[in-house]
Structure formats: structure tokens, C-alpha cells
Structure 1
């Protein structure tokens, strides 16, 4: 009887897990569909922006083309008048040549004097009038207006550049001020008075052995913890050859040599590590090698509590590096940094939090 009851219990548990598995698969499908719809909407908006720019370019160029045609037509008219005068002069020259030839063969003929002087003067007046009316500099494009168009397009370009990458504008709006907690810093780390930098020192500082202080790993975490909304930080790692940075629950182990003390090696923290020219994302002790070789100067960290996401990116050009989905965070999160050993001076520079000028509210 007892065996039968246990069997029934296991069947119910199996059905419950199967039902949950079905729900998870449906949720996965739903997320894929939503992401696809969002992607299509974003693409459509970019296409509409491109279409609007293309139409504006067409309209602007059509105005320039119309003005060019008008100027070219005006010059065509002036050149046509000039050609007509040249043609008339050529005919007069031809008649004069014939008259002169006749004079040479018939010296007594006075035909050379039959060419009216007033006609000669008329031609001179006509040429002078033509030259006065066909000054090439009298026909021009409206260059001042063209400069204004260039100025407006330049302003448009500046506006677009100020708003792109769009992801940069968005993430900056999530910026949250943080300061490093010196009471958590390993004794070989010097935290600046403002709490914005952490620098390795080869000297073990005589500091109180507080419960929250890391005593093996070169870690320090932020004084502030966050438990809702979205938060974004940028960390300057310029000139460094080794570093780790990410976020952690306050429950991360601080003492001893356990692997979980290292950022990303336990389930309490998430991080990206740069070492020996390679980037690795860590969580739960599982490494994810990242396909990047460029040495980035700034690393961005985004925490989204609504989505349960921790996202890392190269803030230099907003290149996405890696995202972890925790589904739901079980505790508040602190920014966590490890500047690493100085490695004979090649990694001596500090790791720096690039705080925004003013803190933002949770979103």
C-alpha cells in the first residue's frame, strides 16, 4: 500500500514537472515571437526614417537641379547671341575680303569705299552691347542659399549623431551613481576618497578585518545596492591588461579561497573578465569565451530587474558583449570590480567608475 502511494505521488510530481515544462516551452515561444515583432517594428521605423531622408534628399536635389537648368539655359541664350554676332562678323569679313580682292584686280574701282562706315560702327556698337550683356559672372547659382542648405543638413547630421546609437541614448538614461565601499575592499586595493577608483598596491594595508571585506580575491563592491528598475554604469579600463567587473548579490562569499569568492564563479555574481588579451563572461563557474580581440577602453554594465538581465557591452562603440538572464533576481545587486594585480607594472592603472553628472531615478 505504501509503495502504491509513493508511486502515485511520483506520478503527480511527474505531471507537475511536465506541465511546467510545457509552460516553459510556451513562454520560450512567446518570447521569440515578441522579440521578432519588436525587431520587425524597429526595422520598419528605421526604414521609414531612411525613406523620409531619401524623399528629403530627392526634393532638395530637385530644387538644385531646377536652378542649375535655369542658369544653364540662361548661359545657352547668351552663348547663342554671341554665336549669332560672330556669325554676322564672319559674313562682314567675308564680304570685305571679296571687296578687297576686287580692288586689287580692278584698281580703278572704288568698291572698297562702298562699304558703309556706319555699318562698321554699328557692328562695334553691337559687339560692345553684347559684351556688356553677356558677362559670365552675371549668371550664377544662389550660393548663399546653397550654404544655408548645407548648414541645415549639417545640423540634421549633428542631431542624428547626438541621438545615435539609440542604444547609447537609452542606456545613458538609466545611469545610476555608485561609489565603492572601502570597507569591502581587499587590503591590497586603494579606494579613492570619492569612491570612484580602485587601484592595486603591492603593500598589504593594515585595515580592520571586517566581515564584509574580501581577504583573498582583489574585489570591491559598491556601497549602493539596487533592487528594482534599470541601472547602467560605465567603467574605464584604459591601459589595463587584466580586470574583472560585474554585479553581485551582497551574499557573495568574502573570506577564504573558495571559488565562489571570485566574480562570476558562484551563483551570486555575474561578470566579464579580460585576461591575456581574451574576454570571458562568467556566472555560476561557467565560462563563456567572447569573440573579441580589441582592447576596449570602457565597459558598460546594464542591470534590468524587470527582465532579470545583466548585460555587458563595449561602451566605446556600444558593441554588445554578453547577456545573462537570471529570470528574476533574488536579492539586491551591487556593482563589483576587480582591478587585478599590477603584473610588473603593466596593469598598474586604476579601474574607474565613470559616474554621470547627476543621478537618475529608477525606471
Structure 2
């Protein structure tokens, strides 16, 4: 059974619209400081909130981050301490073994000194050969001391680092209603999108996908590291990924579809079958436990886009690419998916 790269929408629901002008998505570039300032502006505009509330929110977030870092530091130091004790134990054993060998050599040398005074040269030679054979008996050599942490410890440290992604780089992008297909229903908080059989009556916009049930987020990333999560547990089919703002919006061609051209990358869920798409190339993934949430980590400067099972932070796939334009989080929706709010990451996990 082949892996689908998308579901053809019903003609009655998704009719391509004619357009003579190319589309370009001009959403703003996200920065961490800009996000906090916008949040502060909203809070100050509400009479129920205060500066104290903002301070408490920031303090709480950094307290959770510090707690997670302290726990991971403690775990890492404990593992290093265990390795240190193992290494010291092996060194002590080697020292004791070498002391025994030195003692045996000293005894053998004393015997030979005694034999050399024997007038019977045959007795001396026999004694010398006996000592030589005793020294030639192979002894079990001690294993070399470890020069680095073992693979289990390294994997544990990598898992600990992945756990910090939501706390350190967590983002909560919101959907751009000007980009969403007209039959996609978007929640008031701009994070849940559901495929609907009813047109939403949105006005024509050059950024709107005319055919495919897709939407991009308003936020774009052109530097730094960013992490967000999408709840895919209640949908049979969807795609989670990123795209340049220059992705075409009109028509049914592959150039408009997430993952089918060189301007977008995505992870696809088709029931319990997972794959990744870029440039029209589909790569099937082995996912023993289908994730309820998909985590997306973008390191724009390093050219790294990684997908994780956010339930366990197990890695699913990574793209290595030199990015040349700002990237927008994007979704292809078969049923309903939700972008998670990671502003209180530790409390939601």
C-alpha cells in the first residue's frame, strides 16, 4: 500500500479560482522579544490585568525552566558520578593487580639469585626455565578504562535536552485567516482548524489557498531556534510543516501543496502511517507508537528542521537544508488539528 501525499478534495468543496497575479505572504517575522512585547500590550489594555500579572507570568515561566534545568543537571551529574566510581574501581583493581605481579617478580628474582650460587648448573637452568614458564602463563588483562560516556548515557542526555525544547524555544503560532482555504473553520484563538463542508464566506485575498485545504501561520521565522507542537490525535489525515511565504496559493498544482515542491517541508499522517515530504519526494517513517502530538523544531541558522513525537520526545525525522527565506508554520487539514499553546509549556505537558 502506497503512502498518500495528499487527499484530493471533493470538486464541489474545493473549486480552483482564477487568478492573474502571483501570491506572496508578507507576514511579520517572529522574534522572542517581539512576542513578549505584544503580550505585554494586550495585558495592559485589559482592565483585569496588571503589571504584577505580567511579572508573575514571566517569573513563573523562568522558575519552571530553572527547575527543569536543575533536574537535568542533577541527572547528568549522577550519571557522570556513576561512571567516575566505575573508572576509579577499575583503576584500583589494576593497581592491586600490578602490585601482585611486582611481588611475584620479586619472589622469582630472589629464587634465581639463590639458584645462581648452586654449583649444579643443571639445577640452575631447570629453576630458571620454571620461573620463565610461570611468567609466560597468560593472565586475563583488565579492560581498558572508558574514555567517554557510553551510548546509554549519551542518549539519556539527548532526551533531557529535547525535553527542554518547549521551555526554551517554545512558540505558540496562530493561523492566518487570510491564507486559510475558505472551507477551513478556524477557532477564535486562531489555533484550531477544522475542515468544514460549509464555505466560511471569507473575502478574496491573494494569500488564500484556493484549492488545497491548507493554512499558514501569521508568524514567520528567519533566524534562531523555534519549537511548536500540533495536536493530531483526533485526525485521520493531516500534514504539519513549514513553507516559504512565496508558496503559490492558486490552482491544484503540486507547487501549491505542502511538501510537493522545493518551498515547503512537512510530516504527513495518513491514519497510522507517517511519512515526510519535500520536493515531491515521499519518505516513509517507522513509527511504532503513533504520536498524539507532533513537535516541530526549527533551527533556521543551522538549516535543521526536526519532527518529534511530542508525547515522548522521540525523534521522527530531520531535514537538513540551507534556508533562504522566512519560514511559516503550515498545515494541511483532513479533519481537525490544534496548535498547542506553549506559553505555559510545563503545565501543559
TM-score normalised per structure 2: 0.54
Once the two structures are TM-superposed, the CA of residue 295 in structure 1 deviates from its matched residue by 2.2
- Alignment equivalent of 1:283, drawn from 259, 278, 282: 278
Once the two structures are TM-superposed, the CA of residue 296 in structure 1 deviates from its matched residue by 1.0
Q: Within 5 A, what are the aligned runs for 1:237-256?
A: 237-256=232-251
> The residue matched to 2:234 in structure 1 has which SS?
coil
> The residue matched to 2:169 in structure 1 has which SS?
coil
- Higher helix share goes to which structure? 1
TM-score normalised per structure 1: 0.52
Distance 1:229 1:54 in 2: 35
Q: Counterpart of 2:175?
A: 180
Cα RMSD after superposing both structures: 2.6
Distance 1:354 1:324 in 2: 22
Q: Counterpart of 1:92?
A: none
Q: Counterpart of 1:229?
A: 224
Distance 2:315 2:261 in 1: 23
1:303-346 CA distance string (max 9 Å, x none): 1012111111110101111111112x111010001221xxxxxx
Give ranges in structure 2 of 5+ residues lacking alignment.
1-73, 86-155
Q: Alpha carbons of 1:335 and 1:297: their partners in 2 closer, same or farther (altered >3 Å)?
A: same
Distance 1:337 1:291 in 2: 22
Q: Alpha carbons of 1:269 and 1:164: their partners in 2 closer, same or farther (altered >3 Å)?
A: closer
Q: Alpha carbons of 1:55 and 1:228: their partners in 2 closer, same or farther (altered >3 Å)?
A: closer
Query: 1:192, 1:198 within 8 Å by CA — same for their partners in 2?
Result: yes
Post-superposition, which runs of at least 4 consecutive aligned residues in structure 1 deviate over 3 A? 45-49, 53-56
Structure 2 residue 78 is matched with structure 1 residue 49: yes
Structure 2 residue 191 is matched with structure 1 residue 205: no
Q: Within 5 A, what are the aligned runs for 1:191-340?
A: 191-327=186-322, 329-340=323-334
Query: 1:175, 1:356 within 8 Å by CA — same for their partners in 2?
Result: yes
Distance 2:83 2:272 in 1: 43
Q: Counterpart of 1:354?
A: 340
Q: Alpha carbons of 1:320 and 1:254: their partners in 2 closer, same or farther (altered >3 Å)?
A: same
Query: 2:171, 2:343 within 8 Å by CA — same for their partners in 1?
Result: no
> The residue matched to 1:245 in structure 2 has which SS?
strand
Query: 1:172, 1:232 within 8 Å by CA — same for their partners in 2?
Result: no
> The residue matched to 2:312 in structure 1 has which SS?
coil
Once the two structures are TM-superposed, the CA of residue 358 in structure 1 deviates from its matched residue by 6.1
Distance 1:209 1:255 in 2: 12
Once the two structures are TM-superposed, the CA of residue 172 in structure 1 deviates from its matched residue by 3.0
Query: 1:177, 1:358 within 8 Å by CA — same for their partners in 2?
Result: no
Number of aligned residue pairs: 202
Once the two structures are TM-superposed, the CA of residue 48 in structure 1 deviates from its matched residue by 6.2
> The residue matched to 2:178 in structure 1 has which SS?
helix
Once the two structures are TM-superposed, the CA of residue 203 in structure 1 deviates from its matched residue by 1.2
Once the two structures are TM-superposed, the CA of residue 276 in structure 1 deviates from its matched residue by 3.6
Q: Counterpart of 1:64?
A: none
Once the two structures are TM-superposed, the CA of residue 293 in structure 1 deviates from its matched residue by 4.2
Distance 2:191 2:223 in 1: 23
Give ranges in structure 1 of 5+ residues lacking alignment.
1-44, 57-160, 341-346
Distance 2:159 2:206 in 1: 45
Q: Alpha carbons of 1:54 and 1:184: their partners in 2 closer, same or farther (altered >3 Å)?
A: same
Q: Alpha carbons of 1:326 and 1:240: their partners in 2 closer, same or farther (altered >3 Å)?
A: same
> The residue matched to 1:322 in structure 2 has which SS?
strand
Distance 1:302 1:189 in 2: 25
| Higher RCO (Cα < 8 Å, 6 or more apart) | 2
Query: 1:300, 1:314 within 8 Å by CA — same for their partners in 2?
Result: yes
Distance 1:170 1:308 in 2: 17
